[in-house]
Amino acid sequence: MASGCSELESAIEVLVRNFYVYAEKKGKQDKMNKKEFRKMVTQELQHVLTNTQNKEAANKLIQSLDADEDGKISFDEYWTLIGEIAKKLSMQMAMQCQERP
Amino acid sequence: MASGCSELESAIEVLVRNFYVYAEKKGKQDKMNKKEFRKMVTQELQHVLTNTQNKEAANKLIQSLDADEDGKISFDEYWTLIGEIAKKLSMQMAMQCQERP
């Protein structure tokens, strides 16, 4: 992305780059295997997700995201997770807006 | 969000907070009206979208995003735009991965 990007554009780039940082570690470069996904959840999403250290919980999360059931997480499936986290956060912020005088 | 968040968590927060910064300016606090949306696109997405200064192009974009046709942009509709931008960026990054030796 061009330098001088807005904070919003840089944030989108962080989200996209994060996927490839973990997907590229082993095997197919455009998909995260289970181990890469668990590592990403543990290292990057420990404040917004619960049970991130729990292997079983992480595997359940993978199963719920793995729409094409290939045992790996594609960018689209990763983006579904990010969207769920964002929507949860947006509901919290919407409530804060309403509570303000 | 708790301090000490990961870069990924902070990036998600930037994306969510950005919606409310613009949605809250006038009228309903959890929806962007057309003017607020055009301002957000012009100020925040000028490197990743084309024609951001063009009112007609922005109105077409609103029309394509406005799933419930209420003339406003909800968080979900905003998130669809962010997802489209992220997926375009992810395809560029996927190609860069493949070009690497």
The predicted-structure confidence for A3-56, as pLDDT tens digits, reads as follows 688 999 999 999 999 999 999 877 677 899 999 999 999 999 988 888 888 888
SS (H, E, C) A36-77: HHHHHHHHHCCCCCCCCCCHHHHHHHHHHHCCCCCCCECHHH
Task: Give the Cα separation of A12 and B14 in Å (integer).
Answer: 9
Contact (CB, 8 A) for A32 and A42? no
Tell me the CATH number at B95. 1.10.238.10
Number of domains into which chain A is organized: 1
A-chain residues within 8 Å CB-CB of B17? Answer: 93
Cα dihedral sign, A89-B87-A8-B70: negative
**pLDDT digits 0-9 by tens, B66-94:** 999 999 999 999 999 999 999 999 888 87
pLDDT in tens, chain B (101 residues): 556 889 999 999 999 999 999 998 766 778 999 999 999 999 999 888 888 888 888 889 999 999 999 999 999 999 999 999 999 998 888 777 666 65
ipTM: 0.87
Task: Give the Cα separation of A32 and A34 in Å (integer).
Answer: 7
- Residue B25 belongs to domain spanning: 7-99
Rounded-to-5 percentages of helix, strand, coil across chain B: 65, 5, 35
Is B12 contained in some domain? yes
Contacts of residue A96, defined as CB under 8 A and 6 or more positions apart, other chains included, come to none
Is B70 contained in some domain? yes
Is A4 contained in some domain? no
* Coil vs helix vs strand at B18: helix
Is A16 contained in some domain? yes
Task: Give the Cα separation of A82 and A84 in Å (integer).
Answer: 6
Is A23 contained in some domain? yes
> Would an 8 Å CB–CB cutoff place A4 in contact with chain B?
yes
**CB contact (8 A) between residue B45 and residue A75:** no
CA max distance for chain B:
53
Is B81 contained in some domain? yes
How close A48 comes to chain B (CA, Å)? 7
Is B83 contained in some domain? yes
Is A2 contained in some domain? no
